[in-house]
Chain A
Amino acid sequence: MASAPVVKATVPTRPMPNPRARRERDEEVLVWPDLVFIEFVSAVLFTILMMALATIINPPKLDQANSDITPNPSKAPWYFLNLQELLLHMHPALAGVVVPTVALILLAAIPYVDRSHDGQGVWWGGHPKAVNIVVFSTVFAFIITWLLILYDNGTQDIIYNCASQPDKLWSCLKEGGTPGDAHHLPAYLRNVRGIQTGITWPKWTTHIPYMPFHQLKLLDSNFLNLNLPAWIVEQAIPLACMIGFPIVLVFLLRFRYGPLGVRGTMFALFTGFMTVYVVLTISGTAFRGEGQELLWPWQLKPPEGLGIA
């Protein structure tokens, strides 16, 4: 256009200081109607969807609140069931407060760690192997999280128990192991808590005074003495898992796809985090029944079972 030959240059063409800007203008569309139309259609579609859901599905009808009757299980809203699931496996302060706080801070810190401009505004931009990294991280986090949940549930003991009686294998697995049978794993291998209760720890390990706190009485009674076995089970092992497995993931990815760079590492860690978040939410919502037992979704009793309201 601008470079087209001018026949009569009676009027000198104005110099174009920024020809790139001109080209970008040609790539632009007007918000009205191009964007406003899309927004309007999606708003209408979502209004219809919400109306349909609201008409078809009613909230569960339960009795009036009563502090004397505790439903079993009592569940938090579904988006907090991931934390409630964590609560089953570690110290309540760690699961309920420290982990979510640290997770949110790390989430907010992503752009301050990954400061490069590469791959902005493009799906899977910034790393040539981004999709592979995301798929690998999803699968890895999915498997590891479920294995950890199953391990803490004592599933390995059930399998070991049932494998010793191959003739009744299926019915045994279905029943969740035969009680009282001799073929059990040692107590310290049945779940994480077994490390505390299944081993005879020396007496002094359960009663180590926290030196500064013990004398100053600054903190509440939980902080007077350290119970080492409980600390290992409730804090050290969960923390080691939560810090260790992301590191293992990053090293596995480096081994497979070469150097990840900052953006690649972000892809891996964010994807892993979101996968764990989703798995924990699903297991807490659809796989936890009475007494927070691990059950199949169809074994739960609605509506408390699903905890969706």
Chain B
Amino acid sequence: MAISERPPGQSWQDTVYDKLFHNYIWRSIFRSGYPNTPRNQALVVATNVFLHLHPTRLHRTHVKITHTYCLGGLSFFMFLGLTVTGALLMFYYVPSVERAYTDIQALESNVRFGELMRNMHRWMAHSMVLLVFMHMMRVFYTGAYKPPREFNWVVGVILLVLTLLLSFTGYLLPWDQLAFWAITVGTNMIGSAPVFGTKSRFLLIGGTEVGQGALIRFYTLHVIGLPLLAAIFMAVHFWRIRRDGGLARPL
């Protein structure tokens, strides 16, 4: 049986506590004890798959809010929130030109918390674009792209592009006038590229004008293609932050 951090068996509360949190099953899930000692605090970060994105300790200046304003972390948090709300929206949405618009209407009127889910998804998407831009500015103005972090800045630029593309592909899905014409205008810009313009536009929207082909392509890219790519690049991004020595600071 694991060793308790509390003085042994003095009252029934201690007995209950030990039974609850120091039994075989609990300890098989959470290997370290309650994080109220430095040892357990380091262990809880090191032994948890989600928390071990972090180092166990970091420099005092890096927990100052004004150093990073949590912008990178919040961008990632928006990505997670978008994944959750997006998955919920997928239950109610069929990407066909006949159904897409009415599905969104039904989502707002017939589904409990449907409108909240859609609106949360929308605001998180706008916020993520803003947060990613602000994160880029923070990294630039704190000189955090300097060696050895050059390539991680490039990965960041790729993630910025992916964020914009994710937002852009999602923009078409409600299939209303705003969506349709925004994507028409946007893809016309691509169509104006020299030499390959018309061909790349055709490839992107699966036809000569925005229709069913474009909708299914944008939907697939939006729900699986681009999030997967973004997740891969995010993994590289976070991994390299740790490998390059954590947050940048003066040498």
Residues on A close to B: CB < 8 A? 24, 27-36, 38-39, 42-43, 46-47, 50-51, 53-55, 57-67, 69-71, 74-77, 79-80, 83-84, 87, 92-93, 95-98, 104, 107-108, 110-112, 114-126, 130, 134, 219-220, 222-223, 263, 266-267, 270, 274, 303-304, 307, 309
In-complex Cβ contact of A31 among B57, B189, B197 (8 A): B57
Q: Say how far B62's CB is from chain A's closest CB, in angstroms.
A: 8
- Is B74 positioned at the interface, with any CB of A under 8 Å from its CB? yes
Cβ–Cβ < 8 Å partners of A58 in chain B? 115, 119
The answer to whether A65 touches B176 (Cβ under 8 A) is yes
Q: Nearest Cβ in chain B — how far from A174, in angstroms? A: 30
A96 and B250 form a contact (CB under 8 A): no
Of the A-B pairs whose beta carbons lie under 8 Å apart in the complex, a sample of 18, sorted by A's number, is A24-B59, A29-B60, A29-B63, A30-B56, A31-B45, A31-B54, A34-B63, A35-B63, A50-B81, A51-B120, A64-B176, A67-B210, A71-B177, A77-B182, A83-B189, A123-B67, A123-B142, A270-B140
User: Can you list, as one digit per residue, whether each of B140-168 has a CB less than 8 Å from chain A (1) or not (0)?
Assistant: 11111111011001100110010010011
B178 touches A62 (CB 8 A): yes
Known: A97-B193, A125-B143. A54 touches B149 (CB 8 A): no
Which one of B55, B63, B175 contacts A65 once the chains associate, using CB atoms below 8 Å?
B175
Interface size class of B (residues with CB under 8 A): 35 or more
The 5 closest A-B pairs by CB, nearest first: A96-B189, A54-B119, A65-B180, A121-B249, A92-B192
Please state if B41 and A32 are interface contacts (CB–CB under 8 Å): yes
Q: Give the residues in chain A near B124, CB-CB below 8 Å.
A: 50
Interface residue B185 (Cβ < 8 Å from any Cβ of A) = yes
Q: Does B97 contact A (CB under 8 A)?
A: yes
Excluding A63-B176, A80-B189, 10 further A-B contacts by CB distance (< 8 Å) are A38-B65, A50-B123, A51-B120, A59-B122, A75-B181, A76-B182, A104-B161, A110-B145, A117-B251, A222-B194
Complex partner residue of A62 from B119, B120, B177, CB under 8 angstroms: B177
| B145–A111 touching, CB < 8 Å | yes
Chain B hits for A64, CB < 8 A: 101, 175-177
Q: Are B185 and A28 in contact, CB atoms less than 8 angstroms apart?
A: no
Q: A30-B41, A47-B81, A64-B175 are in contact. Are A53 and B123 (CB under 8 A)?
A: yes
Known: A54-B123, A74-B181. A67 touches B209 (CB 8 A): yes
Residues of B within 8 A of A76 (CB): 182, 185-186, 189
Let me know if B94 is at the binding interface, CB within 8 A. no
The smallest beta-carbon distance between B179 and chain A, in angstroms, is 6
- Please tell me if the beta carbons of B182 and A74 are within 8 angstroms of each other in the complex: yes
Q: Which residue of A lies closest to B198 (CB)?
A: A220
Q: Which of B81, B116, B150, B250 contacts A112 (CB 8 A)?
A: B150
**When chains A and B are docked, how far (Å) is the Cα of A49 from the Cα of B247?**
27
When C-beta atoms are compared, the residue in chain A nearest to B181 turns out to be A74
Query: What is the minimal beta-carbon distance from B114 to any residue of chain A, in angstroms?
Result: 11
Residue from A54, A80, A121, A222 within 8 A of B143 (CB atoms): A121
Chain A residues in 8 Å Cβ range of B154: 108, 111
Contact A66 B81 (CB under 8 A): no
Question: Hey, which chain A residues are within 8 Å of B116, CB to CB?
Answer: 51, 54-55
B9 on interface, CB distance cutoff 8 Å: no
* Residues A121 and B185 in contact in the complex (CB < 8 Å), given A50-B124, A219-B195: no
Cβ B180 vs Cβ A66 within 8 A: yes
Name B192's contact: one of A38, A61, A93, A266 (CB within 8 Å): A93
Contact A77 B193 (CB under 8 A): no
List CB contacts (< 8 Å) of B115-135 with chain A. Answer: 115-116, 118-120, 122-124, 127, 129
Chain A residues lying within 8 Å of B41, measured Cβ to Cβ, are 30-33
Whether the Cβ atoms of A60 and B58 lie closer than 8 Å is no
B171 within 8 Å of A by Cβ?
yes
Residues of B within 8 A of A222 (CB): 194
Q: Which of B74, B146, B161, B195 gathers the greatest number of chain A CB atoms within 10 Å?
A: B146
- Given A97-B192, A309-B179, also A119-B143 (CB < 8 A): yes
Point out the residue from B70, B127, B167, B198 that lies within 8 Å of A50, measured CB to CB.
Answer: B127
Closest to B57 in A: A28
Q: What's the Cα separation between A43 and B157 when bound, in Å?
A: 24
Contacts of B60 in A (CB 8 A): 27-29
Q: Is the C-beta of B184 less than 8 angstroms from some C-beta in chain A?
A: yes
Cα–Cα distance between A67 and B122 once the two chains are bound (Å): 24
Complex alpha-carbon distance, A146 and B144, angstroms: 31
Query: B56's contact among A31, A130, A274, by CB below 8 Å, is which?
Result: A31
User: Is the Cβ of B147 less than 8 Å from the Cβ of A115?
Assistant: yes
Q: What is the 8 Å Cβ interface bit string for chain B, positions 177-217, against chain A (1 contact, 0 not)?
A: 11111101110111011110110000000000111000000
User: Which residues of chain A are within 8 angstroms of B73 by Cβ–Cβ distance?
Assistant: 39, 42
Determine if B146 and A96 form an interchain contact, defined as CB atoms under 8 angstroms apart.
no
Which residues of B sit under 8 angstroms from A111, Cβ to Cβ? 145-147, 149-150, 153-154
